[in-house]
């Protein structure tokens, strides 16, 4: 009899009266189909999943379902699952016993217990942690739940309507949402279209918002010219109805001229063409640093090879006593060093003299560290490696001497923390240097 009664009530209430009752504006076919589906399932107790982007008005669907069901005189509770911390979500939904955790000074009833016989709306259900999803699945399958800190099984007859803006298939593939829970929640799926797919409704919505804000702030309503209407219609509205409402409110409050053109509206819309700086994660930073280090190693090795080539050329010049015949003999070497087939013999002699008298100091790179990275490292002549440890020890000694043993000043000069300097002093046994 109850189902029959509410089916009659549904037939008497036209779609237009439902829109007026819940403040829904628009005649888009996708919107009408969603509302019709909500009205049809309202007389049943099956679970419903509302899908749509943020700001499309998903919260209206569970209200319609509840008001046209036989549960309309019982509790209706809306829960934003994304706004509740993971550590307390179980307590909020299912309740807890006194002493169940720190701060649980008394027994508390959860939403499922309070909404028994009514409807509970789980908004942003895709944000639920996995342990809570297991508990919710049990409620959907058996109507049973257990309070946090209790072993007593309780029953609830709450109807569940859930909503999400998350792509559930992707969430399931990534292991963030249980597949079995998804199919239990989505016995019936109601999809609300985004505002960009409801172009015929955008101007109607703007006029409604402008009229509401005119009454609220006691000022004349806004009027849109044809170009402004075209701009509103073609704009993407990534924030959907919520974003459109915010723009209407800003224009109503800030603009003295009540006739609004396209240029005015454009100044209130975000500029999507701006190139925003990308956020670089830790992994990407490490990867960039590694690439820069490898490039530096390669440059240093190339410098070292060029230096060795110059040494060979110098030795040849010293053995021959002049540059005559040396250029022909070392044609390939000269081309590699100077980047051309022939050079002035005086330039070769001058460069050779500079190499012999003032050899550039190129930092040594540990062969063990880079032999795997560069195949040509095998061709590098073995030379006595510089000791980084010895260099570090000498730098610390010199800094301490220059600062008269004052470790704080020495650490600042070296560009390291005092704690690191203390550790280095202990490591190298530098306590004999007098400190003040």
pLDDT digits (tens, 9 = 90+) for 32-43: 999 999 999 999
> Cβ of 283: how many Cβ atoms within 10 Å?
8
pLDDT class of 326 with cuts at 50, 70, 90: low
Host domain of residue 402: 388-428
HSE value, Cβ hemisphere, 13 Å, CA-based, for 144 = 6
Q: What is the pLDDT of residues 261-276, one digit of tens each?
A: 999 999 999 875 444 4
Looking at the structure of the chain, the number of domains it has is 4
As a whole number of angstroms, the distance between CA 196 and CA 232 comes to 10
Is residue 175 located within the same domain as residue 120?
yes
Is residue 155 located within the same domain as residue 229?
no
Is residue 227 located within the same domain as residue 312?
no
As a whole number of angstroms, the distance between CA 314 and CA 195 comes to 77
In a domain, 322, yes or no: yes
Q: What is the pLDDT of residues 124-142, one digit of tens each?
A: 999 999 999 999 999 999 9
Is residue 43 located within the same domain as residue 186?
yes
Selection from 70, 68, 66 nearest residue 2 by Cα: 70
pLDDT class of 169 with cuts at 50, 70, 90: very high
The structure tokens 């040509």 sit at 376
Is residue 208 located within the same domain as residue 330?
no
The structure tokens 């550790």 sit at 423
Is residue 91 located within the same domain as residue 161?
yes
Q: Which residue has the higher pLDDT, 271 or 87?
A: 87
pLDDT class of 344 with cuts at 50, 70, 90: low
Q: What percent of the chain has pLDDT over 70?
A: 70
The mean pLDDT of 66-75, rounded to a whole number, is: 96
């Amino acid at each position: 009899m109850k189902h029959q009664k509410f089916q009659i009530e549904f037939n008497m209430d036209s779609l237009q009266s439902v829109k007026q009752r819940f403040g829904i504006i628009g005649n888009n076919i996708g919107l009408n189909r969603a509302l019709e589906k909500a009205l049809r399932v309202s007389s049943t107790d099956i679970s419903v999943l509302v899908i749509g982007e943020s700001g499309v008005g998903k919260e209206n669907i569970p209200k319609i379902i509840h008001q046209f069901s036989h549960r309309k005189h019982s509790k209706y509770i809306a829960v934003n699952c994304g706004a509740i911390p993971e550590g307390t979500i179980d307590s909020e939904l299912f309740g807890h016993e006194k002493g169940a955790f720190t701060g649980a000074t008394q027994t508390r009833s959860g939403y499922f217990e309070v909404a028994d016989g009514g409807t509970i709306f789980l908004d942003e259900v895709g944000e639920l942690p996995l342990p809570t999803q297991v508990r919710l699945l049990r409620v959907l399958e058996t109507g049973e739940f257990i309070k946090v800190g209790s072993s007593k099984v309780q029953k609830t007859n709450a109807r569940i309507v859930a909503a999400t803006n998350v792509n559930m298939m992707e969430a399931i593939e990534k292991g963030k949402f249980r597949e079995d829970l998804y199919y239990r929640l989505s016995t019936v799926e109601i999809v609300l279209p985004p505002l960009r797919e409801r172009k015929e409704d955008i101007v109607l919505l703007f006029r409604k918002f402008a009229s509401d804000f005119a009454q609220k702030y006691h000022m004349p309503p806004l009027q849109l010219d044809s170009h402004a209407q075209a701009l509103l219609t073609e704009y993407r509205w990534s924030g959907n109805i919520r974003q459109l409402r915010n723009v209407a409110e800003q224009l109503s409050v800030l603009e003295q001229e009540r006739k609004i053109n396209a240029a005015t509206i454009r100044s209130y819309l975000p500029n999507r063409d701006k190139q925003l700086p990308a956020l670089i994660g830790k992994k990407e930073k490490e990867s960039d640093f590694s690439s820069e280090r490898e490039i530096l190693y390669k440059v240093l090795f190339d410098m070292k090879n060029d230096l060795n080539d110059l040494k060979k050329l110098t030795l040849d010049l010293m053995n021959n006593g002049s540059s005559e015949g040396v250029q022909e003999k070392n044609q390939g070497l000269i081309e590699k060093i100077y980047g051309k087939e022939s050079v002035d013999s005086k330039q070769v002699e001058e460069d050779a003299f500079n190499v012999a008298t003032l050899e550039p100091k190129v930092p040594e790179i540990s062969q063990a560290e880079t032999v795997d990275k560069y195949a040509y490292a095998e061709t590098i002549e073995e030379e006595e490696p510089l000791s980084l440890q010895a260099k570090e020890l000498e730098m610390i000694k010199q800094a301490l001497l220059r600062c008269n043993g004052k470790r704080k000043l020495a650490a600042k000069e070296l560009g390291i923390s005092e704690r690191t300097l203390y550790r280095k002093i202990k490591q190298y046994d530098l306590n004999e240097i007098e400190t003040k």
